[in-house]
Amino acid sequence: MILKKLLSILLLIFCVQFSLAQKTVANIDSLLVVLYTSKNDTTKVILYQEIAAHYNITHLDSAKAFAEKGIVLARSLNFTKGQWMNLNVLGNYYERKTNYEEASVKYEEALLIIENTNDTKGFAVVLNNIATIHIRKAEYDEALNNLFNALKAEEKLNSQNGIAQAYNNIGVVYYYIQDFDKTTMYLTKALEIQENLGNYDGLINGYNNVGAILDYQKKYDDAITSYERGLEISKKINDKKMEATQLSNIALAYSNKGDFNKAEDFFEQAIAIKIQIKDDNGLAASYASFGESLLNQNQLSKAKEILNKGLEISDVKGIKLAKKLIYASLSEIAKKQNDYKLSNEYLTKFIQVKDSILNENNAKIIAEVETKYETEKKENEILQQRAQLAEKELEVKQKNYIIFGSLGLAIVLALLGYLVYNQQRLKNRQLQKENDLKTALARIETQNKLQEERLRISRDLHDNIGSQLTFIISSIDNLKYGFKDMGDKLSNKLVGISSFTTQTIYELRDTIWAMNKNNITFEDLQTRITNFIDNAKMASEQTKFTFKIDEVVNKENTFSSVQGMNIYRIIQEAVNNSIKYAKSSEVKVMISENNGFHIEITDDGIGFAEDQVELGNGINNMKKRARDLNASFAISSSVKKGTAITVVIPEKAI
């Protein structure tokens, strides 16, 4: 009994969705005006399709002409999309007219065009509609195969509406093959999407199907509420067929609830609309349900009458599902009327129809199809995951390449910098060393040249002039010995010349000595002055010579050879002047140190008046030498009081 009730519900929820065929146009009249005024182009083809789709819902008989015109125009324009769209609408028309064979032909024609144009959306739409025909004909294995293919196409397009339609229709097929868990799953999925999209067409189906499940669960009031929502939307969009379906379902719910009066009222409303719109399939289903309801009320004759009407339509149109339910009810009626033979005949026919609808092979194929779909879906998911993983790996690899590349480059640059720096440092060190050596070489070259020059001059002076002077001395000595009878005056004169020449040799030697020296120490100077004073003493025995050096004088002081020579010459000149011109009895040479060297040469000779005497070369030479020394030179003398010469060499000049 439960199974029978369930089958009745299944029949009533048979409301498979038609893609691209259930939209109505708000203002059909203006659309018709546009159609008749427009040129024969692709826009007109689309207009034919839209108008035909509208009439498929509102005035079924008018739809065919528009769809056919659309096909003809599309062919003449070679507009393939227009062709398959109008063929699809024409298929909808035949489906609604319960002419499933013709509907199949139109859908197959449309599918052939789509396959040549690779239109994924069209593929999904037409496959869905072909599946609908298979459902009508209770060919569920083929229906499922087509629906899963349509679902794949919709998923590829990410068309939420299309996916929802496919889920809904798959749910319906499972409903028919009595797999209620899967039915609930697919219908819930469809309803969730339709609610999210706010899609009226889909919502009608959703409410209808949810109502059917509630009805099956004996929650009749909830089922009626759900159906009524579907009914309300059907009326709103003026979908007569769906309106009739909702009415029929409400009637069945009331019948199941035991409220037969209301049930009868709703059945009659549904049947009236189905007759009006010539929905034979729906009509057969409504007759089957109404007959069953009457059977439950034990109104056997009326039930039989109604069921026979349904059986007639089912036979003509080949509606197996309705036929199966009707045979079951007729068998029950015959049984109640104690006509067991007839009951058995109806039961046999029921089993035959049932077997033709559902057999083991069908179930197997369906399971295979579903498994295939699920496997493909999972494979796709795995492939997508792999692709994502590969993409992430690639990203990580790219990042690693950048990081390691930059790091390596930085290391190479650092190494290059270090090597260049090191090389430059080495070059600098080498250059420094080379420069030092070059400087040393220049210095030593200069020194060498100086030495060479000194040697040359020394050689010239001594070996040439010195030997000549020595020759003069030897010649004078020879004269003295050769002419022993010469007078004292001449002899003294010759001795004087000899002494002068000897002195000249000494001075020449002093010059060479000074020239060859880089530096002269104070001690050297002291020795030379002492030497000179000693000679002076011998030259002028009647004169007293004093040479005194103050104790504070630092003996470590050094002079340049020129300075030493100038000091020596000043002293020599001053002493010579005292001996030669001043007729002094005493000559003093004093050297002291107090912020520089103080040299003082004094005598007690005849002196001279500074303003009356013209100074000779000797004094001027002394002044010049003092200037060369950056020293001050002072001479003070007065008649018969001697002469004093003072030279002060400042400390900084030494």
| Residues of this chain that bind other proteins (CB under 8 A) | 400-401, 404-405, 408-409, 411-412, 415-416, 419, 422-423, 426-427, 430, 433-434, 437-438, 440-441, 444-445, 447-448, 451-452, 454-455, 458-459, 462, 502, 506, 509-510, 512-513, 516, 524, 527-528, 531, 534-535, 538
Question: How far is residue 299's CA from residue 293's CA, in Å, rounded to a whole number?
Answer: 9
Q: DSSP character for 595?
A: S
Q: For other proteins, give the closer residue by CB, 40 or 464.
A: 464
Give the nearer residue to other proteins in terms of CB position, either 197 or 450. 450
What is the distance of C-alpha 442 from the center of its chain?
63
Asked if 571 and 511 count as a contact pair (C-beta separation under 8 A), the reply is no
Find all residues with CB under 8 Å of 548, minimum gap 6, and list them: 588, 589, 590, 591
C-alpha–C-alpha distance, residues 595 and 651, integer Å: 6
Q: Which residue, 367 or 416, is less far from other proteins as judged by CB?
A: 416
Q: Which residue reads 């999972």 in tokens?
A: 378
Nearer to other proteins, 383 or 444 (CB): 444
Q: Measured from the CB of residue 397, what is the shortest distance to other proteins in angstroms?
A: 9
Angstrom distance (rounded) from CA 96 to CA 58: 12
Nearer of residues 396 and 639 to other proteins, judged by Cβ: 396
Q: What is the largest CA-CA distance in the chain?
A: 213
Residue (232 or 434) nearer to other proteins, CB: 434
Instruction: Give min distance, CB of 434 to other proteins, in A.
Output: 6
Q: Least distance to other proteins from the beta carbon of 390, Å? A: 18
Q: 95: closest CA among 87, 84, 104? A: 104
Amino acid at 233: I
Nearest to 152 by CA among 171, 172, 166: 166
Tokens at 38, concatenated? 């427009």
DSSP letter (8 states) at residue 615: P
Handedness of CA 458, 463, 465, 469 (dihedral sign): positive
When the beta carbons of 303 and 512 are compared against other proteins, the nearer one is: 512
| 3-state secondary structure at position 373 | helix
Token pair 């009222």 is at which residue? 265
Give the separation between CA 531 and CA 589, rounded to whole angstroms.
13
Least Å distance, CB 134 to other proteins, is: 58
Smallest distance, other proteins to C-beta of residue 206, A:
56
Specify the residue, 272 or 394, whose C-beta has the smaller distance to other proteins. 394
CA atoms within 13 A on the CB side of 154: 21
Q: At closest approach, how far in Å is the CB of 483 from other proteins?
A: 22
Query: Which phi and psi (to 5°) does residue 634 adopt?
Result: -135, 135
Q: What are phi and psi of 190, to 5 degrees?
A: -65, -45
Residue type, 190: A
Q: What's the closest the beta carbon of residue 542 comes to other proteins, in angstroms?
A: 18
The answer to whether residues 133 and 320 touch, using CB atoms and an 8 Å cutoff, is no
Min CB(174)–other proteins separation in Å: 53
Cβ 577 to other proteins, closest distance in Å? 22
Residue 192 CB, nearest distance to other proteins (Å)?
48
Q: By C-beta, is 496 or 616 nearer to other proteins? A: 496
Conformation bin of residue 338: beta by default, left when phi > 0, alpha when psi is -120 to 50: left
Nearer to other proteins, 389 or 442 (CB): 442
CB of 531 to other proteins, least distance (A): 6
> Smaller CB distance to other proteins: residue 386 or 438?
438
| Structure-block tokens of residue 602 | 């004094």
